[in-house]
Amino acid sequence: MSEPSSRVQKTIAAMRGVRPSILPSLLLCDFANLEKEVRLLEEAGVDCLHLDVMDGNFVPNISYGMPIVSAIRKVTDLTLDVHLMIRDPNTYASQFVDAGADLITFHIEALPRPSDLLAKIRSQGVAAGLAINPSTEMSHLLPWVGECDLVLVMSVEAGFGGQAFNPIALERLSELRKANGPDLLLEVDGGVNLKTVGQCTASGADLLVVGSAIFREADYCQAMTRLRREMQI
């Protein structure tokens, strides 16, 4: 097995080994104290950090780019899950590999024929997957699932804040799990909290991206404990 392929398999095996797992989305963290935030999350027992990259083009918000991913990589050995909500993932994916990503997902809406980029990311030793918005028909995604290490099912439209959890995500998680068995990692992002986390795991989600239900709480350890208690394993 080649070195890049071995690294991908190691990452996927590690994530399978901790599923279901809560992935804090750093979008809501205190960036003035970034290393401190990472340490608090490590103390809370998280396995992976979720990094939302928005370009102000594919989505109407701008977040951060390679320098933040690189900075986080320097202060932690936690798995870094990078979600590219950008118009041109072909141009920038390799730069996020270099910045230290362990998993990279990009949107089927941004690249309707994703095979080459999925293969390129994996050839660089990083697990690769596709994300899909609630408003996009699953027929756009399904032909490519077999080429993915993970699929990210959005339960809100990417990039728009304050949206309610869309239950279509539960249907899609169940459909994907039934069709692909236990090997495919399934991730869900958007509106995941104490009320919805159990529904998500019951529908087959392995990786659950959580923002406000962690970062708007005073104690991250207690927040994680409450979320884990609600997961249906």
Which listed residue (47, 52, 55, 206) is catalytic? 52
Put residue 207 in one of left, alpha, beta given phi > 0 → left and psi -120 to 50 → alpha: beta
Which listed residue (47, 149, 189, 206) is catalytic? 189
Q: Is 102 a catalytic residue?
A: no
Nearest to 132 by CA among 174, 85, 164, 87: 85
Q: Is 47 a catalytic residue?
A: no
Judged by DSSP in three states, 66 sits in helix
What is the H or E stretch that residue 49 is in? strand 48-54
Whether the Cβ atoms of residue 158 and residue 56 lie closer than 8 Å to each other: no
Whether the Cβ atoms of residue 66 and residue 58 lie closer than 8 Å to each other: no
- Catalytic residues, by residue number, are 52, 189
